[in-house]
Amino acid sequence: MRRSRLLMAGVAMSTALAVTAVVPGIGLAHSQGGATATTIASGLDNPRGLTFGPDGNLYVAEAGRGGAGPCMTGPEGEVCYGTSGAITKIYKGKQLPVISGLPSLGGAEDGGSAIGPSDVSFNRFGQLYFTVGLGADPAVRANLPQLGQQAMGWLLRAKGWNKWRQIADIAGFEATANPDGGLPDSNPNSVLATKHGQYVVDAGGNSLVFVAPNGKVSTVATFPDRMVPAPPELGLPPGAQIPMQSVPTSVVQGPDGALYVGELTGFPFQVGAARVHRIVPGKAPQVVATGFTNIIDLGFDRDGKLYVLEIAHNGLLSGDPTGALLRVSHGKSKIVYSQGLTMPGGLALRHGSAYVSNCSVCAGAGTIEKISLPYHR
């Protein structure tokens, strides 16, 4: 997906959030429809994907807030490079840095809508893998400092406290292989670590790739454009259609062993057009759930029920930053929780609760919400 189209909406949202966002206090609780949410971490910088580690603690990728530069001008305005990205552990109410000093590109004014660490995942051996986004043509990395070139657009693995190593250059694969055949664009946004290797969703490249133990990257699936009605503001003739990209944002493994991928969709971010794909490597993706808007993450609970997290329930172009957590049961979806969810960015499920990274485009105002879910058969 072209970075300008996604961040244009994100920047517009974060501009409004700069005025309205309030950092909840730790332990603040609110309820909706039998579900109760409690803030368990606050003050995070653009929090995105999260997961539980083998130690039982929650880990979250913070995209950071950019830094002093170098800066570059894009269609949305100036963004500046820094080393404010991090992988953070939530331990007994405290936020402990596991890896800090990771590259980040954030809005020049407030560090919002940053591109940086995007997701975290542990394999069965307790090894922590994480992705760092890019959101651009891989060639732009040549303009970044050395650390940015070595980490942005990569799949990395933690190597002890505050150390990491390169595993696979996802953006480099997009540049050379270009699985979907579009203009080069890479934004590694989600990772699933397994005993066989790692699956990475490249939202920019509209692809799902696999990283073998030797670091070799291969294409598992691509997600083609669809034709949708053109929004009125484009001034096109009545009935005109335009291509809308898929923009996959998340990959999880279902109880059946298959992979499930959620899509954000690209411009015009059509309400109700986002889908969930089921993928068995070697076979074509199958659409198994529809009717969502701007999916940012997926998860399965202990009973095998699918949960879908929407970053903007009314659409990224609506001006409404309210997100939503939905449960899919018997082919139908229902909102489980939305109150207080503001541009959420990541989802983890554990012991009857959903953990959501909230205000994912906010520098210094991101939170983690623990949502106790009502039991449903």
CATH number at residue 80: 2.120.10.30
- What is the pLDDT at residue 314? 97
User: Tokens for 90?
Assistant: 């939530």
Taking Cα atoms as reference points, which of 86, 110, 108 lies closest to residue 98?
A: 86
Tell me the mean pLDDT in the region 327-337: 91
- Any domain includes 291: yes
Taking Cα atoms as reference points, which of 285, 131, 111 lies closest to residue 203?
A: 131
- What is the pLDDT at residue 18? 43
Q: How far is the CA of 16 from the CAs of 75, 210, 212, 283, 357, in angstroms?
A: 18, 38, 42, 43, 19
- Any domain includes 368: yes
Q: Please state whether the peptide bond connecting residue 268 to the residue before it is cis, i.e. omega within 30 degrees of 0.
A: yes
Residue 273, SS3 per DSSP: coil
Indicate the helix (H) or strand (E) that contains 10.
helix 3-20
- Any domain includes 240: no
- Any domain includes 208: yes
- Any domain includes 340: yes
Taking Cα atoms as reference points, which of 135, 144, 150 lies closest to residue 70?
A: 144
- Any domain includes 235: no
Phi, psi of 14 (to 5 degrees): -70, -25
User: Cα 340 from chain centroid?
Assistant: 19
Stated pTM of the model: 0.93
DSSP secondary structure letters along 278-329: EE-TTS--EEEEEEESSEEEEEE-TT--EEEEES-TT-TTSS--B-EEEEEE
Confidence of residue 7 (pLDDT cuts 50, 70, 90): very low
Confidence of residue 331 (pLDDT cuts 50, 70, 90): confident
- Any domain includes 85: yes
Confidence of residue 16 (pLDDT cuts 50, 70, 90): very low
Taking Cα atoms as reference points, which of 241, 240, 244 lies closest to residue 223?
A: 244
Phi, psi of 151 (to 5 degrees): -125, -35
- Any domain includes 239: no
Confidence of residue 78 (pLDDT cuts 50, 70, 90): confident
Query: What single DSSP character describes residue 234?
Result: G
Taking Cα atoms as reference points, which of 193, 202, 16, 170 lies closest to residue 121?
A: 193
Mean pLDDT of the residues in the chain: 92
Query: The domain containing residue 75 runs over which residues?
Result: 3-226+245-372
Phi, psi of 96 (to 5 degrees): -110, 130
- What is the pLDDT at residue 35? 83
Tell me the mean pLDDT in the region 149-177: 98
Task: Give the count of domains, the chain.
Answer: 1
C-beta separation of 189 from 118 below 8 A: yes
